[in-house]
Amino acid sequence: MEIHLIETKYDWETQSIAEFLNEGNIPSGWFDFFNSETIREILGKVSNELEKKKDCKIFYPDLNQVFRAFYITPLENVKAVIIGMDPYHNGNAVGLCFSVKSGKSINPSLRSIYKELKMEGFNPKENGNLIHWANQGVLMLNMSLSVEKGKAGSHSKIWKKFSEEVVKYLDKNRGEDIHWILMGNDACKIKNLINKGVVHTTVHPMPLAEYKSSKIAEAFWGSGVFSRVKSIKW
């Protein structure tokens, strides 16, 4: 179920990640994970590092959407996991990887996803909103859950440990039932943390890269990756 945290006090200028979570905004469907000592410690460090960086800078997505994927898709509902690189750094990020704000232009990587979906025989609504995937049990994450305006990858090191712990927790608690769709080299590097389920690796669906394969991932264009996950109506 979608959780709406629209209070104006939840913004990067006035609050930190730690303060936001301490106000009771922990995803209920992930309570044990977020309240574990390990994750509290990791997120404390994430919060501190972001606080050091945010002076006179703009971060995306909005603070109240950083953990949106966890609010919408509880652990017990997860059927598939999509992991990309980091949020859109042009202001389109909404806390679900590759999805964009309603009414905004569709980013090139999402255009590529729509092309692949149509090639696979699906008929996607090309409005940029992918929340219907999350509602069906697709946990839609990036390796980094925040980014500085105009600077791709700017927070990747800060979030790396947290993202790895998410993968290990999912693998331990839901692994047998999950299809993993890892898009891009950063995401594909965590494949060694996954012991259960079915893993699909592709290059990132950004223009030009989508046609090429790499040492650790197949080309995105023509991969048929969505057709392999039968439990989701893409």
Domains and CATH numbers, the chain: 17-211 (3.40.470.10)
Q: What is the pLDDT of residue 157?
A: 97
pTM of the model: 0.93
Sheet containing 80-84: which strands, arranged edge to edge? 138-142, 80-84, 179-183, 198-202
Nearest to 198 by CA among 225, 158, 173, 164: 225
Question: Any idea of the CA torsion for 39, 42, 44, 45, to the nearest 10 degrees?
Answer: 180
With vertex at residue 110, the alpha carbon angle to CA 228 and CA 209, rounded to the nearest 5 degrees, is 80
Residue 89 backbone class (left: φ over 0; alpha: ψ -120 to 50; beta: rest): alpha
Q: How far apart are CA 191 and CA 23, in angstroms?
A: 34
The DSSP symbol for 105 reads: P
Q: What are the per-10-residue average pLDDT scores of the chain (234 residues)?
A: 55 92 94 98 98 90 96 97 96 96 90 96 95 97 97 96 98 92 94 96 80 71 94 95
171: annotated active-site residue: no
Catalytic residue among 86, 171, 177, 186: 86
